[in-house]
Structure 1
Amino acid sequence: MAKSPAHKWGQIIGDFLEEVFATELSKFARKHKLYLDTQGDRPARSGKKVSWIDSFENSHDLDFVLERNGTKNKIGDPVAFIESAWRRYTKHSRNKAQEIQGAILPLVATHKNFAPFMGVMLAGEFTDGALNQLRSLGFHVLYFPYDLILQAFKKYGIDASTEENTTEKDFQDKIDKWEKFDNKKNLANYLLRLNKVEVDAFFESLEKAVSRFIELISVLPLHGTSNTLTTVEEAIDFIESYQNDNGSLPVLKYEIVVRYNNKDKVEGIFNSKESAIEFLESYAAPKPKDKK
């Protein structure tokens, strides 16, 4: 079934904005030596979708994932999960916000050892309630309001506005003009300049998240005193060499806190020496299934 001009125009705007976001994230990934996974072919995975598996074996399709040590042939460690969305009317915004959190939060919980950055790039009409809901859950939100998008398109002679009473002919005229438009790169740059403060704040937060390093590791055997160490290797050595000096009292558990220079932290409580070492040794978490 052929798409209506109204649906096609909405898809054109959404695809354009996603390309703008992808371009900026690609620049960021190159600067920080990260791999940016987006929809399309990648030998390391099956199909064209960016799909990650949570701890309950549920698959979640995403727009962008930044990976450390990832390549086109190897899945890396996730350092950022980022979704994007365009919505013309606010009546759809809360549902989209819930859809985004439903996709990303289970993955962040599954890969908590990497404490991934949670980002969302939104454009169009989103209510304050939808935006605040995402922020309250720890998402970093980059928002391009509808009026700002209209302003950017207008500068290049394109009326991107749509209303519920916009005719099919008007939509088709917009589509025809867009298909002949050959200045999309400058339009994208102008749009980013119009929202420079928000764009800079988002990428500064992302940079802090991916540039962080371990500042200290605290290991606390239940009957002992806290020991502060600076590297994973030192923490492993401490656990391996730890001697129980409390007579016959066993170590009931190990409490481990990994603190980063940006104040992020990862905490774990382990009932055995082996599980504590495994936590520190591998920082492992389930990854997407490699292509077979």
Structure 2
Amino acid sequence: MAEPSSHKFGQELGKLIEDIVLNDILKPRLLQFVQSKNYYLDWQRTRQARSGKKVTWKDKYDNKHDLDFVIEVDGNDLQLGTPVAFIECAWRRYTKHSKNKAQEIQAAILPIIELHNLSAPFYGAVLAGEFTKPALDQLRNNGFAIIYISYQNVVAAFKKINLDIAFDETTPDITYTIASKKLADLSSSDIKKLGEALILVSKQEIDSFMDTLRNSLERYIAKIILIPLFGTKYEFKRIDDALIELNTLDINRPSGEFERFEVIVDYNNNDTIRATFQDKNSLAAFLRKLKS
């Protein structure tokens, strides 16, 4: 069965926009940032430190996820560093697909963040097309920095090169076929103009995104709280038994053995790391890592 012209055009359009977003909008800014700060930027290409071209990281459940950009500390072409930023890009034409895509991005990134929580990484998404406000809010409420280029702005950018892409589900197949041919025939000059137009309409969001990334990676420690916990462990099967024991405890004269260290690290940008360590050596290693 032949592939519908609308589907083929949608795939081609999405690939073109994601390529422009990745290579013309985001990558140059990320490269400029990491080179000035001695970080390492990884994207989909050949790198000796990993196999294949994909940027693949595992989450806390040992699942693998392919990502668009990862920024590392102490990384280079030959070795993986500590990840401190994860960024995904996506295009969606219709709002009915936007919620699923937002959930997909969230499901991929957040478990990776949990695995690397001791470095409190930055995470963001660059979205283009039709994304509903609830889908965008869902990501923002979960800590994502967002660049959003609306479908209307994408359509306006294509008008700069005299190409109308304002199609919908009622558009005839022949229109999609003609548009697909025009997409395939775009010159490098046309693609450059598209990139410039998309940058122009999203400049404020791009600047805000980069400021958030910069603040996250350039943050400094405002306060470190160490809480050594000592005590006697009590276990109960009934709430009433726990309440009875609670009433007999003398909290003014505590006793018991060492249990663990609780650590709270507050940064100037309101990021916080909370961690638990069972011994001094592990805690000292963590603090030295924060210092480096």
Q: TM-score, normalised by structure 2?
A: 0.81
Contact 1:25 1:36 in 2 (8 A): no
Q: Distance in 2 between matches of 1:213 and 1:12?
A: 44
Say whether 1:25 aligns with 2:26: yes
Letter in 1 for 2:31: A
> 1:110-150 deviations in whole A, cap 9, x for unaligned?
00111111101111111111111111111112111111100
Letter in 2 for 1:191: L
Q: Distance in 2 between matches of 1:176 and 1:195?
A: 27
Equivalent residue, structure 1, for 2:216: 209
- TM-align CA RMSD: 2.3
Say whether 1:168 aligns with 2:177: no
Q: TM-score, normalised by structure 1?
A: 0.81
Deviation at 1:8, TM superposition (A): 3.0
How many residues are treated as equivalent by the alignment? 261
Q: Distance in 1 between matches of 2:21 and 2:219?
A: 23
Which stretches in structure 1 are left out of the alignment for 5+ residues? 224-245, 284-292
The runs of at least 4 aligned residues of structure 1 exceeding 4 Å deviation read 1-4
> 1:235-289 deviations in whole A, cap 9, x for unaligned?
xxxxxxxxxxx9x964432222222222212111223223322333446xxxxxx
Deviation at 1:3, TM superposition (A): 5.1
Contact 1:221 1:251 in 2 (8 A): yes
From the superposition, tell whether residues 41 and 190 of structure 1 become closer, same or farther in structure 2 (CA, over 3 Å).
same
Which stretches in structure 2 are left out of the alignment for 5+ residues? 231-252
Equivalent in 105, 114, 119 of residue 114 of structure 1: 119
Deviation at 1:160, TM superposition (A): 1.4
The percent identity for this pair of structures is 43
Q: Distance in 2 between matches of 1:3 and 1:35?
A: 41
Letter in 2 for 1:125: E
SS in structure 1 of the partner of residue 165 of structure 2: coil
Letter in 1 for 2:26: L
> 1:180-208 deviations in whole A, cap 9, x for unaligned?
22221121011111122222111111111
SS in structure 2 of the partner of residue 222 of structure 1: strand
Structure with the greater relative contact order (CA < 8 A, sep ≥ 6): 1 or 2?
A: 1
SS in structure 1 of the partner of residue 276 of structure 2: strand
